[in-house]
């Protein structure tokens, strides 16, 4: 018996291929990277400094204070950042930032839900850094990767 | 009241002027305003000696506004409180970030001694418990130590190995004076403009605090402080001249998973000229006392947190200065529960037993508080 | 269909009460809101547990990584990993150096791919996998620590919370329903009390007070208003009663009888005077037709009278437009009754009200007056007026029937002598005796009248001359006999003039004149009687 010119075994093969290629079946290897504007000077930040930075503590490089931008455009990138850089839950992280600002004033890292706004601010401020997927960063113009924060498989 | 309103208006004008001057050149100042609201209902089981001095049934709403404006290396920090019995600007600080790790403030700020005074300001949402420890109570609530100073404050963080850091605070300015109220002595805290007013009402105050943070981004810390303030006492009959208050203390905050433990122990010395009964002249007295508190918190569930606190003061019985503060809490034990909901609101229930200056003034209290933060 | 009707009936009965509506409303509101609330709480609880779980593992994982030191020998490292496993929070631990040397893995199959999780329950394996870089003293990574935290405990907490929440919600629903029922019963108790009292008052028990204790403002206000209304009603009723009593007293004390009937004549009320008039009690009359109080002879007149009134609508007034009928008492006695009827409209229906007067006395008085007006007071004989009236009637009848009639006029002889001799009271007694004797010799249809002094007229309808003469002779004989007046024997005579109809006249004056002339002839000629226009021989017996 054939359906649309295809015999039964061919259909089975197609179905198996579809399942195999489904993103729910395979884990992709992705990298989370720290990025900045291409006009920024060369930047080297250690893990500690990155953590300090995104916790609202001041980090100065080449006489300039680095300004962190929090990328919350997708839940996954934000959660990976929290798990790999901050080691906290979202609720606790945001509370820590608020409490710190309440105690000492100062600026809290700004959180962005919209990628367009995030990238625009990143490009306009040479002292700003944020994090995103490496493949996203490579697709964007006028930004450069500072360092890799994490790489691993995500199912 | 009229005087205080005038003062508040003056401070608001100062804030407006400074803000405008600081940020007028550019329009990209960043800032935020937060609104803290809380409503507290308290039932006290008062002994006869306290009836009339305190409310047996109290219902107190209050609103605290916190503002934080940043532009470049300058920032303005504002904190104001409106409640059923006061309307005051509590914090009004103009800051200059000397460098990323050091900020110099000018204005009215919280005296940076002790763990509590730096961590918890006005607005009760962040504070786990409803009540502050007696030794760090606000001036108008019976506090014997200056919680507000007016002058300069230098805050900084020195990174150490690993993620740690050393935080330090240095404050220099003017402190409170002692005034009278129906409930006994009360400290009149300085305002943001007190530096420019009659100096004899507010005199020199200085505080230095240093704390070690194993993880600069975490809450744990261990520190010590020293504070010295001269308190004019024109309103006190039995004390001549000024009181010099010197405080030295240690504090710490330790957190492990669900448990948090923090507290302070301090030593206070009051140097004062005390009038002698039936004699002219006065006697110089140097009186020492100790005070401290320890609070433990346990996270039962993501939303429920239980806490308990013990406070105690020793050696204050012979101190005329302390004795004049009838509402000062000498001892207290409290137990409470906090329930968080909606990410910005909390309900706290607390039972406490407190002793005032005189041993027979102990009373029990039960209170329920709703607090929230809107931002 | 039957069960549907039953359900509808039950629903209607439930929702017909305030309690029912409160409960129904509460149930509906809870059924709508409770799932939303419970759902929201469950979501928050779940989120809270998951957040706490993630917070815990993200904060402890670096701590575990700090326990691993690069300079430690492998057994020490393994011991550290075992210690991590023994903490009870971690179900899986693996340490792999950066050059892919696996130091320790608690996985049965270490070849299995390690997939790190970033969300709770991401991979559906009830384990949250997290990977942490282990750093040396200089901060350089030298190994990867992989940990697996069991999500089962958290899931159990969440599930338990769900069940607890459902149980609590159900309990809350039941308790709140019961509570609402109880509260509504308590709240509506005052309303029910008001209802009961209102019902009693509606049934006439105005003395019942609205003694409803309530602290519900609206109900209390209602009670106050109802109580005021009751007091007003009570007051009005008392006033109405007093007015009725007053009116009844007035009616009862009226001299006239007052009877009210419906438009069919059925008696509705009767006053005391009417009771006395007819001799009945009110309960014997009320409900019966008024015809029982009117004699049969007058019934037709009475019905015409009422009919006429109802048609004309003109109210009758006693003594002016009243009707005289014959009433009938309880003992069967008929009596003259004067009735004046008027109409009322009460409650949309016609009520006839009659004012009655027993005019028996008045009738008797009237008869007496009439009698006095037509009869001689002394002899009780018809007087001149009545005599002339009867003479008219006699002549009319004689003319109609073609009959003869006679008229006699008498004059007493020597009467004046008796009066003068014995006095007027002898004369009066004599006249009375003469009147009596005259009536004995006349027929019942004859009329004996005294027309003045000692003159008498006798009308003899149907009599001719012979008959008249016979009567005259009888009269002469009887008058001739002595009269015994107060012990005195008195003898008088009489002179009689006779006129005949139609011979001597066809009208009263002619006949009277002829009779009078005949009487004078008889008197002058000392004849007993003289027939007008006849010979003297016919006139006999001088007196």
Chain A segment 15-54 residues within 8 A of C by beta carbon are: 27, 46-48
Contact present, C206 and C234 (Cβ < 8 Å): yes
Of the listed ranges C304-318, C357-371, C486-500, C502-516, the one predicted with least confidence: C304-318
CA distance A46 to chain C (A): 9
Quote the pLDDT of residue B237. Answer: 65
Q: For residue A5, what pLDDT band results from cuts at 50, 70 and 90?
A: low
Compute φ and ψ for B117, nearest 5 degrees. -65, -25
Chain segment B230-269, per-residue pLDDT in tens: 988 876 667 777 889 999 999 999 988 789 999 999 999 9
Spatial neighbors of A3 by CB under 8 A, at least 6 apart, are: A11
Which CATH code is given to the segment(s) A27-154? 3.40.190.10
Give the residues of chain B that fall short of pLDDT 50.
1, 24-27
Task: Give the per-residue pLDDT at A77.
Answer: 93
- pLDDT digits 0-9 by tens, C40-81: 888 888 888 888 888 888 888 888 887 777 777 778 888 888
pLDDT confidence of residue A20: 47
Residue B344 near chain C (CB below 8 Å) = no
Nearest CB neighbour to B302, from listed C52, C59, C60:
C52
Å between A149 CA and nearest CA of chain B: 17
pLDDT at B27: 47
Which of B302, B343, B347 to mutate to test binding with chain C, by most C CBs within 10 Å of its CB?
Answer: B302
Task: List residues of C whose CB lies inside 8 A of any A CB.
Answer: 51-52, 54-55, 58-59, 61-62, 113-116, 118-119, 122-123, 130-131, 139
CATH number assigned to the domain comprising residue B180: 2.40.160.10
Predicted confidence (pLDDT) at residue A23 exceeds the cutoff of 50? no
Q: Testing the interface with B: which of A56, A100, A105, A107 to mutate, by most B Cβ within 10 A?
A: A105
Is any Cβ of chain B less than 8 angstroms from the Cβ of A59? yes
* Residues above pLDDT 90, as percent of chain C: 21
Which burial class, exposed, middle or buried, applies to C325 when counting CB atoms under 10 A from its CB (0-12, 13-18, 19+)? buried
Contact between chains at C44 and B341 (C-beta distance less than 8 A): yes
Shortest distance, CA B166 to any CA of chain C (angstroms): 20
> Mean pLDDT over all residues of chain A?
82
Confirm or reject contact between B301 and chain C (CB < 8 A): yes
| CA-based nearest distance C94→chain A, Å | 16
Say whether pTM exceeds 0.90. Answer: no
Domain-by-domain residue ranges, chain A? Answer: 27-154
B371 touches B37 (CB < 8 A) = yes
Task: Report yes or no on B92 lying in a domain.
Answer: yes
Question: C60: nearest CA in chain A?
Answer: A87
- Mean pLDDT over C224-230 rounds to 91
Strands of the sheet with A110-112, listed across from one edge: A110-112, A67-71, A128-133, A28-37, A143-154
Question: Does A82 contact chain C (CB < 8 Å)?
Answer: yes
From CA B191, how far away is CA B169, in angstroms rounded? 20
- Chain A interface mutation, best of C44, C47, C50, C55, highest count of A Cβ atoms under 10 Å: C55
Q: Give the E-state strand segments of chain B in sequence order.
A: 30-45, 57-71, 74-83, 87-99, 102-110, 148-159, 165-174, 177-181, 184-188, 204-213, 221-232, 239-256, 259-275, 282-299, 304-314, 331-341, 345-355, 363-374
CB contact under 8 A, A48 and B121: no
CB-side exposure of C311: number of CA atoms within 13 Å?
A: 6
Minimal CA separation from C55 to chain A, in Å: 5
Provide the domain count of chain B: 1
Strands A67-71 and A128-133: parallel
- C24 pLDDT more than 70: yes
User: Chain A residue closest to C51 (CA)?
Assistant: A89
Residue with more model confidence, C73 or C165: C165
Q: Quick check: C49 contacting B, CB < 8 Å?
A: yes
* Predicted-assembly ipTM surpassing the 0.90 threshold: no
Distance, in Å, from the CA atom of B327 to the CA atom of B185, rounded to the nearest integer, reads 8
Is the Cβ pair A88, C123 closer than 8 Å?
A: no
Instruction: List residues bridging with A113 in a β-sheet.
Output: none
Beta strands in A44-118 (DSSP E): 60-61, 64-65, 67-71, 110-112
Closest to C262 measured CA to CA, from C175, C174, C344: C344
Residues of C with a catalytic annotation lie at 454
Judged by a CB distance cut-off of 8 A, whether residue A89 touches chain C is yes
Q: Which residues of C touch B303 (CB under 8 A)?
A: 44-45, 48
Chain B residue numbers touching C49 (CB-CB < 8 A): 301-302
Tens digit of each residue's pLDDT (9 = 90 or more) over A133-147: 999 999 888 899 999
**Tally of residues, chain C:** 543
Neighbour subunits, C (≥3 Cβ pairs < 8 A): A, B
Nearest in space to B163 (alpha carbons), one of A57, C451, C401, C216 = A57
Whether residue B344 lies inside any domain: the answer is yes
Length of chain A: 155
Residue A103 to residue B30, Cβ atoms within 8 A: no
Residue count of chain B, please give it: 375
How far is it, in rounded angstroms, from Cα C12 to Cα C391?
A: 95
Compute the average pLDDT of residues C391-411: 92
Given a cut of 60, whether residue C319 has pLDDT beyond it is no
What are the start-end ranges of the H helices in chain B? 2-23, 115-119, 320-323
Any domain includes B336: yes
Give the CB-side neighbour count of residue C111, counting CA atoms within 13 A: 0
- For chain C, what percentages of helix, strand and coil (3-state, to nearest 5) are there? 55, 20, 25
Range of the domain at B151: 2-16+34-374
**pLDDT band at residue C394, thresholds of 50, 70 and 90?**
very high
How far out from the chain centre does Cα A150 lie?
10
The distance of Cα C76 from the centroid of its chain, to the nearest Å, equals: 111
Residue C44 in contact with partner chain B when CB distance is under 8 A = yes
Domains of chain C: 68-150 (3.30.450.20), 255-364 (3.30.450.20), 375-538 (3.30.70.270)
Asked if residue C463 has pLDDT above 70, the reply is yes
Angstrom CA distances, C476 to C273, C433, C462, C467, C543, stand at: 57, 14, 21, 14, 7
Query: Which residue of C lies nearest to A82 if distances are taken between CA atoms?
Result: C58
- The contacts of residue A26 (CB under 8 Å, 6+ apart) are A20, A155
Higher pLDDT, B334 or C143: B334
């Amino acid at each position: 018996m054939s359906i649309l010119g295809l015999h039964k075994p061919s259909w089975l093969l197609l179905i198996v291929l579809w399942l195999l290629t489904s993103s729910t079946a395979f884990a992709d290897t992705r990298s989370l990277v720290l990025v900045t504007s291409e006009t920024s000077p060369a930047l080297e930040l250690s893990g500690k400094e990155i953590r300090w930075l995104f916790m609202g503590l001041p980090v100065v490089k080449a006489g300039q204070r680095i300004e962190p931008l929090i990328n919350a455009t997708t839940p996954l990138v934000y959660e990976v950042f929290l798990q790999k850089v901050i080691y906290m839950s979202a609720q606790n992280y945001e509370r820590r930032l608020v409490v710190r600002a309440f105690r000492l004033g100062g600026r809290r890292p700004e959180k962005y839900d919209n990628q367009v706004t995030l990238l625009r601010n990143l490009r306009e401020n040479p002292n700003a850094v944020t994090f995103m997927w490496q493949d996203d960063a490579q697709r964007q113009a006028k930004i450069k990767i500072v360092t890799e924060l994490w790489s691993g498989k995500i199912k | 009241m009229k005087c205080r309103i005038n003062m508040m208006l003056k401070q608001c004008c100062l804030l407006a002027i400074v803000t405008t001057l600081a940020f007028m050149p550019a329009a990209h100042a960043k800032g935020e305003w937060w609104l803290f609201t809380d409503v507290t209902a308290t039932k006290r089981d008062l002994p006869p000696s306290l009836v009339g001095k305190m409310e047996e049934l109290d219902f107190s709403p209050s609103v605290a506004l916190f503002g934080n404006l940043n532009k470049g290396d300058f920032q303005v920090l504002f904190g104001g409180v409106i409640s059923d019995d006061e309307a005051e600007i509590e914090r009004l600080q103009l800051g200059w970030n000397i460098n990323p790790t050091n900020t110099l403030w000018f204005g009215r700020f919280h005296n940076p001694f002790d763990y509590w005074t730096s961590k918890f300001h006005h607005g009760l949402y962040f504070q786990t418990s409803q009540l502050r420890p007696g030794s760090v109570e606000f001036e108008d609530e019976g506090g014997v130590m200056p919680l507000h100073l007016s002058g300069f404050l230098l805050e900084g963080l020195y990174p150490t190995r690993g993620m740690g850091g050393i935080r330090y605070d240095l404050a220099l300015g003017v402190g409170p004076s002692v005034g009278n109220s129906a409930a006994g002595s009360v400290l009149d805290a300085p305002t943001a403009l007190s530096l420019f007013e009659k100096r004899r009402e507010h005199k020199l105050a200085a505080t230095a605090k240093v704390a070690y943070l194993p993880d600069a981004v975490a809450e744990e810390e261990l520190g010590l402080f020293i504070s010295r303030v001269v308190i004019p006492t024109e309103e006190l009959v039995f004390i001549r001249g000024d009181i010099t208050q010197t405080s030295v203390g240690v504090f710490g905050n330790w957190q492990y998973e669900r448990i948090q433990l923090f507290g302070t122990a301090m030593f206070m010395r009051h140097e004062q000229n005390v009038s002698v009964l039936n004699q002219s002249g006065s006697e110089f007295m140097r009186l020492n006392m100790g005070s401290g508190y320890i609070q433990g918190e346990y996270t039962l569930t993501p939303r429920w947190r239980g806490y308990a606190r013990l406070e105690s003061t020793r050696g204050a019985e012979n101190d005329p200065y302390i004795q004049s503060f009838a509402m000062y809490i000498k001892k207290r034990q409290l137990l409470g529960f906090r329930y968080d909901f909606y990410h910005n609101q909390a309900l706290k229930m607390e039972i406490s037993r407190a002793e005032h200056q005189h041993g027979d003034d102990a009373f029990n209290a039960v209170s329920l508080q709703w607090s929230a933060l809107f931002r | 269909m039957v069960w549907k009707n039953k359900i509808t009936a039950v629903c209607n009965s439930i929702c017909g009460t305030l309690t029912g509506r409160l409960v129904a409303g509460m149930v509906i509101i809870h059924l709508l809101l409770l799932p939303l609330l419970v759902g929201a709480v469950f979501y928050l609880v779940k989120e809270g547990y998951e957040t706490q779980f993630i917070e815990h593992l993200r904060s402890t994982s670096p701590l575990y990584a700090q326990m691993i030191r690069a300079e430690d020998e492998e057994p020490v490292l393994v011991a550290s990993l075992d210690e991590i496993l023994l903490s009870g929070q971690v179900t899986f631990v693996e340490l792999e150096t950066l050059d892919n040397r696996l130091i320790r893995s608690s996985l049965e199959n270490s070849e299995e791919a390690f997939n790190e999780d970033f969300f709770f329950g991401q991979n559906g394996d009830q384990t949250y996998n997290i990977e942490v870089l282990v750093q040396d003293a200089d901060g350089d990574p030298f190994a990867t620590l992989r940990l697996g935290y069991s999500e089962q405990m958290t899931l159990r907490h969440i599930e338990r919370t769900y069940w607890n929440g459902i149980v609590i919600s159900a309990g809350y629903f039941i308790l709140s329903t019961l509570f609402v029922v109880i509260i509504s019963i308590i709240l509506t108790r005052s309303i029910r009390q008001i209802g009961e009292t209102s019902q009693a008052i509606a049934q006439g028990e105005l003395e019942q007070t609205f003694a409803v204790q309530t602290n519900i403002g609206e109900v209390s206000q209602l009670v106050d208003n109802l109580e005021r209304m009751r007091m007003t009603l009570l007051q009005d009723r008392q006033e109405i009663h007093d007015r009725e009593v007053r009116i009844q007293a007035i009616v009862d004390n009226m001299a006239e009888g007052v009877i009210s009937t419906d438009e069919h004549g059925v008696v509705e009320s009767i006053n005391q005077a009417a009771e006395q008039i007819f001799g009945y009690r009110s309960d014997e009359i009320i409900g019966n037709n008024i015809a029982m109080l009117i004699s049969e002879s007058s019934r037709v007149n009475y019905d015409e009278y009422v009919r006429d009134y109802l048609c004309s609508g003109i109210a009758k007034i006693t003594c002016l437009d009243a009707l005289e009928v014959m009433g009938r008492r309880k003992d069967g006695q008929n009596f003259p009754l004067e009735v004046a009827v008027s109409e009322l409209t009460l409650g949309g229906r016609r009520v006839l009200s009659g004012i009655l007067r027993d005019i028996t006395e008045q009738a008797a008085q009237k008869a007496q007056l009439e009698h006095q007006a037509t009869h001689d007071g002394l002899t009780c004989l018809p007087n001149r007026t009545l005599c002339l009236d009867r003479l008219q009637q006699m002549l009319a009848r004689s003319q109609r029937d073609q009959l003869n009639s006679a008229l006699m006029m008498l004059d007493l002889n020597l009467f004046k002598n008796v009066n003068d001799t014995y006095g007027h009271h002898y004369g009066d007694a004599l006249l009375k005796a003469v009147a009596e004797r005259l009536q004995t010799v006349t027929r019942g249809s004859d009329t004996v009248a005294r027309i003045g002094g000692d003159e008498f007229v006798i009308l003899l309808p149907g009599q001719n001359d012979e008959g008249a003469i016979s009567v005259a002779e009888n009269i002469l004989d009887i008058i001739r006999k002595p009269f015994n007046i107060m012990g005195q024997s008195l003898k008088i005579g009489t002179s009689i003039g006779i006129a005949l109809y139609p011979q001597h006249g066809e009208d009263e004056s002619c006949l009277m004149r002829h009779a009078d002339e005949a009487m004078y002839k008889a008197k002058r000629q000392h004849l007993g009687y003289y027939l007008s226009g006849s010979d003297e021989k016919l006139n006999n017996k001088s007196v």
